[in-house]
Structure 1
Amino acid sequence: MEKIKALFDLMELITKDTSLAVEIQLAENQPLDYLNQFDGTLQERGIDRPIPELPWLALVDGLARRNLLVELDWKEDPEELIAVCQRLTENHSESTEIKTTLTSLEPLTGDDIEEFLPVLNRYINKHGIQLV
């Protein structure tokens, strides 16, 4: 349990969904059962046997299945990042204000993604949201 405590801590910052904690524990304690249960997703990643990173992947894939995470390539355009942020915050209590904030950033989208990420983070942080 101590090995995966940091994963639980991170998970709790994002969601209180206890079923995700169960999946992470399964990946740690019974990796073959986890592999059998989520073989489709893991096969896409080229994983067909237990690996040390399996609990981490359980967290990442579990968040993605719950629409709480979107994996982006480092080469993505800032416009794509804005669109993803809008989708991820649709159910946020301040979704209208967040959408307005994100729309106001569109003139800055010509910037390189590495330069744009900190700008985007500063703007959405005002709404209690953090890019990870």
Structure 2
Amino acid sequence: MGLFDFFRKKKVDAMLVSDSDVNQGLDEEKLAALLALSRRLSAGNEDIVQEVSDAYLAPNEYCERWQDRLDDRGITGPMEGLPWIALVDALIDERLADEMDWKSEGSTILYVTRRLIARKQLLPHDKDWSEFEYDEQQRTEFMLETMKNKLQAYGIALACMDIESDSYVLIAVEAAMLEELKQLADTAGYRIHNHFNPHWN
């Protein structure tokens, strides 16, 4: 090997190492964002953070441990998006999120929202739910939009963890936290949104 060939090979090797480091760095950034998001949404519940970490780093073991829960979603093994589903299911188990059908009635929306907010004690003690009326004839997404707008007056954000299905995974958080949560989800490769436009007919 000539001197020129030697240095050309060293350059190629360096490029390969650099590409690998970049990919590893991206994965680490996504995981860090996802775990930070998990910690915030779970109010620091480290068991939930650990579940999400396991789904990311050891998907086979995670699926074996939580197969009963995954069966309800028709998931039989590791898949893309498993850590996100792990976070959603763990939050639902702890009543920090709730999944509802895209054709839910107003009374269901009110009940779910009240339970989420009570779980985190977000509504001021001197407020009640008397003004949160609902119309059973109103489409689900419009009812959610109405509820979201009313809650904004109390500094509460009603939002949705997007799992690309015909259901809403609702969360209730302090409004001041929402943009940070949305950014963390985006960095991790997922989406939290707080608009409830019609998605299905």
TM-score by length of 2: 0.58
Q: CA RMSD in A?
A: 2.1
Name the larger-Rg structure: 2
How many residue pairs get matched?
A: 130
2:155 match: secondary structure: coil
Deviation beyond 4 Å, 4+ runs, structure 1? 95-98
1:10 aligns with 2:37: yes
1:131 match: secondary structure: strand
Distance 1:107 1:74 in 2: 16
- Residues 110, 134 of structure 2: 8 Å contact kept: no
Q: 1:95 to 1:86 in 2, by over 3 A?
A: farther
Question: Counterpart in 1 of 2:157?
Answer: 130
1:72 match: secondary structure: strand
- Residues 67, 76 of structure 2: 8 Å contact kept: yes
Higher relative strand content: 2
Q: 1:107 to 1:22 in 2, by over 3 A?
A: closer
Percent identity for Structure 1 against Structure 2? 28
Q: 1:63 to 1:80 in 2, by over 3 A?
A: same
Of the three residues 123, 141, 149, the one matched with 1:94 is 123
- Higher RCO, Cα 8 Å, sep 6+: 2
Deviation at 1:108, TM superposition (A): 4.5
Mapping of 1:1-132 within 5 angstroms?
Answer: 1-15=28-42, 16-91=44-119, 92=121, 94=123, 96-97=125-126, 100-101=128-129, 103-132=130-159
- Residues 76, 113 of structure 1: 8 Å contact kept: yes
Distance 1:104 1:36 in 2: 46
Distance 2:134 2:93 in 1: 32
Higher relative helix content: 1
List alignment gaps of at least 5 residues for structure 1.
none
Q: Note the alpha carbon deviations across 1:59-92, whole angstroms, 9 max, x for none.
A: 1001011110110111101211001111222240
- Residues 79, 106 of structure 1: 8 Å contact kept: no
| Counterpart AA for 2:112 | V
- Residues 89, 95 of structure 1: 8 Å contact kept: no
Distance 1:121 1:21 in 2: 27
| Counterpart AA for 1:130 | A
Q: 1:127 to 1:112 in 2, by over 3 A?
A: same
